[in-house]
Amino acid sequence: MKKVQQGFTLIELMIVVAIIGILAAIALPAYQDYTQRAQYSEVVSVANGYKTAVAVCVQTRGGTAGCNDGSNGVPVSRTTDFVASVDVTNGAITVTPQGFTNTTPNNPTYILTPDANGVEWTIGGTCQTSDPILCP
């Protein structure tokens, strides 16, 4: 009677473990990038809420002067898990993120600047120049 092979040999198991290790080494950095992008989307989302309020203020007042946080319908600064502060000065929205340790520089700023009519917005800040992968 012939004996039927049961199970895997040691070399087969070592090959499978090596393949899994290689895939994990490639996937982990990509996963961390996607995680940071998802967290940074909260920064953009918070800025968009202020963007609407500033646009209404600009339309109402006829310009960006006086469109500051806590006045003329613009909300006061708020914090979240990934937003340290929001500052609105004459329509320019500066969001300071927090908790981004793997970026250069740490906690890059996200700045939205409106035109005179509050319709067109320019995106700026240290995030744009330092980490194009993370920034929208």
Task: Identify the pLDDT of residue 35.
Answer: 80
**pLDDT tens, position by position, 22-79:** 999 988 887 877 787 788 888 888 998 899 899 999 988 888 888 998 888 898 988 8
Q: Residue 116: which pLDDT band, with cuts at 50, 70 and 90?
A: confident
| Average pLDDT over every residue of 117-134 | 72
Task: Identify the pLDDT of residue 88.
Answer: 93
Task: Identify the pLDDT of residue 101.
Answer: 62
Q: Which two tokens stand for residue 69?
A: 């946080």
Task: Indicate the burial class of 61 (C-beta count within 10 angstroms; 0-12, 13-18, 19 or more).
Answer: middle
Where are the strands (E) in 46-108, listed by range?
83-89, 92-97
Residues 6+ apart with CB under 8 A from 64: 54, 58, 90, 91, 92, 114, 116, 118
**pLDDT tens, position by position, 91-111:** 999 998 887 765 555 667 888
Judge whether 125 and 110 are in contact, CB under 8 Å: yes
Q: Which residue has the higher pLDDT, 18 or 4?
A: 18
**Is the pLDDT score of 15 beyond 90?**
yes
